[in-house]
Amino acid sequence: MNGAPKTVQAKPGIASREAAVAILSQVLRRKRPLDHATAEILAAANLTPRDSAFARAIAGESLRRFGQLEALIRTFVPKTPPPHKAGPTIEILIAAAAELLLLKVPAHAVVDAANRLAQADARAVHFKSLINAVLRRVAAEGAAVLERQDAGGLNAPDWLFQRWAAYYGGEQARSITQAHAMVPPLDLTLKAVDDPCTELSGRLLLAPGRVRLSEPGNVTTLPGFADGRWWVQDFAASLPARLLGNVAGQAVIDLCAAPGGKTLQLAGAAAHVTAVDVSPERLAMVAENLERTKLTAELIAADARDWHPDTPAPFVLLDAPCSATGTIRRHPDLPWIKSAADIVNAGSLQSELLDAAAEMTAVGGTLIYAVCSLEPEEGVEQAEAFLARRAGFARHPLAADEVFDSLFVTAKGDLATMPFHWADKGGMDGFYAARLRRLL
């Protein structure tokens, strides 16, 4: 089950579960991003919106708590069968355990569906009795096992948890993984800061122009989407653009601009925005959102290391490619498809992009360096290394009122949000940003 799911005997919920298992196989074995695997498999399965949502829920919860669920299965099957012999047996068990313990689906429906999925696979069928026996134990004893687990330590790979524990301390590392295990709310940035958006059910106003929805449903059907009154953007992701200050009427270069939330922010603030991104496909998404929101920006498909503006700009924003470990709550596959090498490999690209961005910044101008990463090598260490090699730049520390809360400002005056910040309101993505001023 490494591609689109095969057809199994029709029964309510079976197609959803089959798709979820296929998605997990793609992510866990082939290291494919969850979004890509989900889009491909659900399109091939041709599910109803309700069945698609169920498949997404199973796959998403399985990955958010994958470390716990895998440890749970090993409690009952200390020596798991090898994939080349057992096919998707492990994925069937993980998905079913997620249904039983996290989604609270009745045991009879889950066990029956798992048996049907095993029966339909040429390799997993040989482990049907094992699947049946394990899931009955999970249904009876699984909740108690989960309760005894070190959830914070299990829901990230050892290499990643150890990195966080070494830098942030064990307690904060656990807070990070616990925040990642929660289903994130949907954050919107409003085109007009004073738009009350009273039609949005269950809205929470996080800050002026920032609205959070806990159970949004289909984004495209929400009030205000069609007429472009807002765009989807995590609260933390909306902060780096604020650090530029008043950009009305000013030229701003937005580097690595896609998917475009910051471009829209800057255009909405009446800046003359040049948005640069290496991917024409991703820039097309930015163009769609600009059209929907009736905002304008110049879009340029180019590698920021090769592109040069006609004249340096007073404001430059670089949201650099990174490991994206700050977005794991929205992308629960990331810990299981990435490795420590990804962080090391991203560092040289970030350094090159920062140097390119520096050349685009006018004397007296402001350069914002941002990453949606929790890793110091991609955040503060990049900023420090840049300042050490570029004598013409200096850090311009932030004030708490610029980012709504002193929690988000480091001792050096940089921005650093954590997934567990504002936990009572639903948390936020992890983001780092440094504001740098060009002196000469």
CA dist 113 and 157 (Å) reads: 29
Sign of CA dihedral 335, 338, 340, 343: negative
**Both structure tokens of 380:** 């503060």
* Residue whose C-alpha is closest to residue 121's, from 80, 92, 82: 92
Q: Identify whether the C-beta of residue 264 lies closer than 8 Å to the C-beta of residue 293.
A: yes
Q: Catalytic residue, from 197, 256, 322, 372: name it.
A: 372
CA dist 36 and 27 (Å) reads: 9
Task: Give the count of beta carbons closer than 10 Å to the beta carbon of residue 90.
Answer: 24
pTM of the model: 0.93
Angle at 412 between CA 410 and CA 418, to 5 degrees: 20
Cα-only R_g, the chain: 23
**3-state SS class at 275:** strand
Q: What was the pLDDT predicted at 198?
A: 83
Q: Tens-of-pLDDT digits for all 440 residues of the chain?
A: 444 444 444 566 899 999 999 999 999 999 999 999 999 999 999 999 999 999 999 999 999 999 999 999 999 998 888 888 999 999 999 999 999 999 999 999 999 999 999 999 999 999 999 999 999 999 999 999 999 999 999 999 999 999 999 999 999 999 999 999 999 999 999 999 999 888 888 889 999 999 999 888 889 999 999 999 999 999 999 999 999 999 999 999 999 999 999 999 999 999 999 999 999 999 999 999 999 999 999 999 999 999 999 999 999 999 999 999 999 999 999 999 999 888 888 889 999 999 999 999 999 999 999 999 999 999 999 999 999 999 999 999 999 999 999 999 999 999 999 999 999 999 999 999 999 999 99
Task: Give the count of beta carbons closer than 10 Å to the beta carbon of residue 121.
Answer: 21
Q: What was the pLDDT predicted at 8?
A: 44
CA dist 211 and 204 (Å) reads: 6
Tokens 């309760």 identify what position? 147
Sequence-separated (6 or more) residues with CB below 8 Å from residue 37: 22, 23, 26, 27, 30
Beta strands in 49-193, from DSSP E residues, in sequence order: 186-190
Has 197 been annotated as catalytic? no
Cα 398 to Cα 365, 415, 428: the distances in Å are: 16, 7, 19
**Both structure tokens of 313:** 């700009």
Task: Give the strand order in the sheet containing 186-190.
Answer: 203-207, 210-213, 186-190, 230-232
Sign of CA dihedral 195, 200, 201, 204: negative
Please, what is the end-to-end C-alpha distance for the chain in angstroms?
Answer: 59
